[in-house]
Amino acid sequence: MKEKIEALMQEVAALKAASRQEVEDARVRLLGKKGSITELFEEFRGVAPEMKREFGAKLNVLKNAATDRIAQLREEVENKAACADGGASGDLSMPGDPFELGSRHPVSIVRQEIVDIFRKFGYDVAEGPEIEDDWHVFEALNFPPEHPAREMQDTFFVSEGQLVGEGEEKHYWNPLLLRTHTSSVQVRTMERSQLPIRVICPGRVFRNEAISARAHCIFHQVEGLYIDEGVTFADMKQAILLFAREMFGPETQIRMRPSYFPFTEPSAEVDVSCNICGGKGCNICKGTGWLEILGCGMVDPNVLEASGIDSKKYSGFAFGMGIERIAMLKWQVKDLRNYFENDLRFLKEFNTVL
Ligand code: PHE
- Measured CA distances, 98 to 87, 94, 95, 129 (Å): 18, 12, 8, 39
Atom of ligand 1 nearest to the CA of 180: 4
pLDDT for the residue 198? 97
pLDDT for the residue 268? 98
Evaluate whether 226 touches 296 at the Cβ level (below 8 Å).
no
- Per cent of the chain over pLDDT 70 is 97
Q: Where are the alpha helices (DSSP H) in the chain?
A: 2-13, 20-31, 36-44, 49-84, 106-120, 134-137, 183-192, 233-248, 301-306, 323-331, 344-347
Evaluate whether 297 touches 267 at the Cβ level (below 8 Å).
yes
Q: pTM, whole model, 2 decimals?
A: 0.73
Higher pLDDT, 328 or 270: 270
The residue contributing the CA closest to ligand 1 atom 10 is: 296
Does residue 276 carry a pLDDT above 90? no
Confidence of residue 264 (pLDDT cuts 50, 70, 90): very high
- Residues constituting the chain: 354
Task: Count Cβ neighbours within 10 Å for each residue of 235-270 and write b for 16 or more, e otherwise.
Answer: bbbebbbebbbbbbeeebbbebeeeebbbbeebbbb
Confidence of residue 89 (pLDDT cuts 50, 70, 90): low
Q: Which of 181, 204, 222, 294 to mutate to test the pocket of ligand 1 (most atoms within 8 A of CB)?
A: 181
- Tell how many helices (H) and how many strands (E) occur in the chain: 11, 11
The residue contributing the CA closest to ligand 1 atom 9 is: 319
Q: Stretch 300-322: mean pLDDT, rounded?
A: 97
Q: What is the pLDDT of residues 164-197, one digit of tens each?
A: 888 888 888 889 999 999 999 999 999 998 999 9
Using left for φ > 0, alpha for ψ between -120 and 50, and beta otherwise, residue 220 falls in beta
